[in-house]
């Protein structure tokens, strides 16, 4: 299975634009498989983020450089891809999804910058490059992440072509996903659980918050944008998103154990060093693979009502648990 082009640790941190300019959706043949259009989607979101971020030369320069460094240092762009895949599933034109995809990637990036700080996971390497606090300094990393988060909400609020009430609903959905009952809460539980034994349900609850919440929001935000998504489809996508969100974090934990630093672009074995409560640490590597496969199967089952339109999401879910980095 081909990995997304952005899935390459150690790249230069520059945005590399495709040889073809980003074309409007009408130019992209929907008959081409989603997985073959990953470079196209990655370019679209990179282009949108480039437009939405302040220029690196804008004052305060160091802050803006750090924000751009954090965003354009590679990354698989899984959450934007989920936005585009859900958009295809629900028939939302790709041009209506770029800003949303960019905003969600800003939030994800902010979470990574904070996650790597000495006060949290104290990691030196991210996407094959020095983490933001290593490349700049700790205060700049904190501030760059602090600025990426409100930027996400500012750009969603400014989606002029979207009805005001829908914009408000998007802000609420994504704010909830990254707040204390979502990603940030999950991160707090993760830190408090270092060196502790958690039961399976507790561990999965932590995963659902720290990682699953934003993955779920990436999918459900498109349901809101689509207008008129049936309750049946909404519930199916909700259930699917919950399963793959947890599976994605278990796979991340597996890669921390089985992956090589040069391949995963993060220091392998970091979880063991920090005595993190992870699926492999608590239940073993075999059980982790098994649980990941189970969650994927459950997630795919939930997509049944959506028929073939959900094929992009099926491919992406499979990639999320079979990826090598
Ligand atoms: C890493 O996320 C952190 C988790 C929530 C597991 P990704 O694996 O999506 O990181 P990037 O964006 O591709 O670097
Ligand atoms: C991070 O989980 C989840 C976030 C919300 C950022 P990890 O701490 O396992 O992510 P990595 O392995 O550093 O990317
Ligand atoms: Mg962490
Ligand atoms: Mg970490
Ligand atoms: Mg990890």
Is the CB of residue 44 less than 8 Å from the CB of residue 83?
no
**pLDDT, position 73:** 86
Longest dimension (CA), the chain: 53
**Alpha-carbon gap, residue 311 to 97, rounded angstroms:** 18
Contacts of 273 (CB under 8 A, 6+ apart): none
Give the atom of ligand 2 at the shortest distance from the alpha carbon of 187.
5
Ligand found nearest the CA of 266: 2
Its sign, for the CA torsion 248, 39, 225, 93, is: negative
How far apart are the CA of 112 and the centre of ligand 2, in A?
7
Asked if 97 contacts 222 with a C-beta cutoff of 8 angstroms, the reply is yes
Cα–Cα nearest to 46, from 20, 14, 19: 14
| E strand or H helix that includes residue 130 | strand 129-130
Ligand 2 pocket check for 241: Cβ under 6 Å: no
| Residue nearest atom 3 in ligand 1 by C-alpha distance | 112
The residues facing 129 across adjacent strands are 126
Q: CB within 5 A of ion ligand 5: which residues?
A: 252, 256
- Write down the pLDDT at residue 227: 78
What single string gives the DSSP state of each residue in 76-128?
--HHHHHHHHHHHHHT--GGGTHHHHHHHHHHHHHHHHHHHSTTTT--SEETT
Compute the C-alpha angle 142/247/92, nearest 5°: 80
For a pocket test of ligand 2, which of 113, 121, 191 has the largest count of ligand atoms closer than 8 A to its C-beta?
Answer: 121
**Distance between Cα 116 and ligand 4 center (Å):** 6
**194 alpha carbon, closest ligand:** 3
d(CA 38, CA 45): 11
Tens of pLDDT along the chain (325 residues)? 333 333 333 333 333 333 343 444 444 445 689 999 999 999 999 999 999 999 999 999 999 999 999 999 889 999 999 999 999 999 999 999 999 999 999 999 999 999 999 999 999 999 999 999 999 999 999 999 999 999 999 999 999 999 999 999 999 999 999 999 999 999 999 999 999 999 999 999 999 999 999 999 999 999 999 978 999 999 999 999 999 999 999 999 999 999 999 999 999 999 999 999 999 999 999 999 999 999 999 999 999 999 999 999 999 999 999 999 9
Q: Which domains does the chain have, with CATH numbers?
A: 34-322 (1.10.600.10)
């Amino acid at each position: 299975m081909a990995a997304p082009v952005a899935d390459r640790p150690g790249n230069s941190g520059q945005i590399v634009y495709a040889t073809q300019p980003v074309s409007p959706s009408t130019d992209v043949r929907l008959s081409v498989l989603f997985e073959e259009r990953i470079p196209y989607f990655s370019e679209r979101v990179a282009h949108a983020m480039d437009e939405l971020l302040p220029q690196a030369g804008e004052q305060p320069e160091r802050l803006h450089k750090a924000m751009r460094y954090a965003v354009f240092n590679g990354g698989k762009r899984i959450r934007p891809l989920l936005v585009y895949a859900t958009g295809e599933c629900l028939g939302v034109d790709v041009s209506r999804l770029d800003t949303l995809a960019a905003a969600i990637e800003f939030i994800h990036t902010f979470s990574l910058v904070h996650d790597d700080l000495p006060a949290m996971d104290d990691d030196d390497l991210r996407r094959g490059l020095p983490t933001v606090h290593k490349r700049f300094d700790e205060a700049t990393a904190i501030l760059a992440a602090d600025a990426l988060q409100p930027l996400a909400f500012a750009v969603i609020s400014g989606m002029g072509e979207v009805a005001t009430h829908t914009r408000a609903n998007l802000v609420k959905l994504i704010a909830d996903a990254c707040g204390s009952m979502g990603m940030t809460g999950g991160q707090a539980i993760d830190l408090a659980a270092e060196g502790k034994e958690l039961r399976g349900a507790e561990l999965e609850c932590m995963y659902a918050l720290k990682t699953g919440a934003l993955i779920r929001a990436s999918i459900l935000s498109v349901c809101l944008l689509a207008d008129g998504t049936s309750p049946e489809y909404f519930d199916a996508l909700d259930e699917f998103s919950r399963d793959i969100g947890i599976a994605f974090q278990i796979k991340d934990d597996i890669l921390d154990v089985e992956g090589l630093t040069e391949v995963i672009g993060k220091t392998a074995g970091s979880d063991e060093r920090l005595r993190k409560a992870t699926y492999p640490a608590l239940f073993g590597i075999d059980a982790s693979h098994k649980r990941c496969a189970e969650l994927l199967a459950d997630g795919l089952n939930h997509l049944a009502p959506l028929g073939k339109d959900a094929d992009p999401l099926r491919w992406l879910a499979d990639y999320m648990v079979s990826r090598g980095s």
